[in-house]
């Protein structure tokens, strides 16, 4: 397992484009995220995402680094309307870093950003039913399974359930 002090969250930088695209251009990652993330993933896609992360104003998006090297991305995306004060947590880790506790450590570092800096009252996340590793990440960080939306996801031409998680301060 990786020591917590070696993991940091920082704003994405233009200089991350090459490493970002290299990590994100992976079908195994794409299989676990929403289709709005392009696949294949190019450096131009990385440029657009990094620009969005700096200009959108809504989501709080951070690079996940290990010893200063980009290893993934994590974000809190504020909800609107009657869901104001809540945000959806999303993250992905580059495959070379899987199985080392990096996602769990990054989520642990992101939770205080949500509750203390963003003043959220609730953080939630959704996981495809086949992604047991991501469910463990959330559960290790105190998220509670709130339910299962049956046949909610169409990914790669197949229908899957979506497992819903929530966390209160």
Summarised one tens digit per residue, pLDDT across range 95-136 is 999 999 999 999 999 999 999 999 999 999 999 999 999 999
Q: What is the edge-to-edge ordering of all strands in the sheet holding 144-155?
A: 7-10, 60-66, 69-78, 86-93, 122-128, 158-167, 144-155
Summarised one tens digit per residue, pLDDT across range 29-56 is 999 999 999 999 999 999 999 998 888 6
Rounded to a whole number, what is the largest CA-CA distance in the chain? 41
d(CA 14, CA 11): 10
**CATH fit for domain 4-121, picks 3.10.150.10, 3.40.630.30, 3.90.550.10, 3.90.230.10:** 3.40.630.30
Percent of the chain with pLDDT over 90: 92
Domain residue extents for the chain: 4-121
H-only helix segments in 25-130: 27-30, 43-55, 102-112
- For the entire predicted model, the pTM comes to 0.93
d(CA 24, CA 91): 12
For residues 58 and 162, which has the higher predicted lDDT (pLDDT)? 162
């Amino acid at each position: 397992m990786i020591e917590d002090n070696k993991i940091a969250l920082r704003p994405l930088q233009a200089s991350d484009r090459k490493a970002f695209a290299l990590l994100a251009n992976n079908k195994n990652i794409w299989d676990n995220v929403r289709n709005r993330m392009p696949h294949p993933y190019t450096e131009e896609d990385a440029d657009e995402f990094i620009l969005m992360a700096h200009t959108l104003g809504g989501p709080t998006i951070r690079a996940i680094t290990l010893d200063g090297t980009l290893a993934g991305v994590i974000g809190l995306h504020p909800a609107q309307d009657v869901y104001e004060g809540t945000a959806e947590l999303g993250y992905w880790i580059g495959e070379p870093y899987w199985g080392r506790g990096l996602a769990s450590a990054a989520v642990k570092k992101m939770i205080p950003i949500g509750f203390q800096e963003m003043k959220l009252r609730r953080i939630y996340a959704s996981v495809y039913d086949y992604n047991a590793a991501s469910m463990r990440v959330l559960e290790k960080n105190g998220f509670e399974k709130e339910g299962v939306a049956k046949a909610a996801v169409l990914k790669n031409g197949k229908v899957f359930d979506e497992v819903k998680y929530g966390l209160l301060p």
